[in-house]
């Protein structure tokens, strides 16, 4: 997973997509989370044979990231514009 988010939860594009994806592939990762705005770099810069071996999630906001990245036992919900995380019985907001 790579990216930056705004205070409102929007995922921003990042640089070095080719290098980051190839490095992840090289160490055996198969599921990646990337900013949606980096789709063009993914398609143009990363070889098709590498992309074919990966499950890439292109996301627009942090809610999408959390749905993909958090373990099944975790819970999140947006509350009045704030994001509340409940991990292993500990509340983080």
pLDDT at 88: 44
DSSP string, the chain: ---EE-TT-BEEP-S-HHHHHHHHHHTT--EEEEEGGGHHHHHHHS-HHHHTT-EEEEESBHHHHHHHHS-TT-EEEEETTEEEEEETTEEE-
pLDDT at 1: 65
Q: For the whole model, what pTM was predicted?
A: 0.74
**CA–CA separation, 1 and 19 (whole Å):** 13
Provide the domain limits for residue 49.
4-92
**CA–CA separation, 91 and 82 (whole Å):** 13
pLDDT digits (tens, 9 = 90+) for 14-61: 999 999 999 999 999 999 999 999 999 999 999 999 999 999 999 999
CATH number at residue 76: 3.30.230.10
Domain count, the chain: 1
**CA–CA separation, 23 and 20 (whole Å):** 5
pLDDT at 69: 87
**CA–CA separation, 91 and 81 (whole Å):** 17
């Amino acid at each position: 997973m790579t990216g930056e988010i705004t205070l409102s939860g929007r995922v921003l594009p990042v640089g070095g997509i080719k290098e980051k994806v190839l490095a992840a592939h090289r160490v055996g990762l198969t599921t990646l989370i990337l900013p949606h705005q980096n789709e063009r770099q993914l398609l143009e810069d990363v070889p098709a044979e590498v992309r074919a071996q990966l499950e890439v999630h292109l996301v627009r906001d942090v809610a999408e990231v959390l749905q993909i990245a958090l373990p099944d036992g975790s819970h999140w919900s947006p509350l009045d514009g704030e994001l509340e995380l409940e991990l292993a019985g500990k509340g983080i907001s």
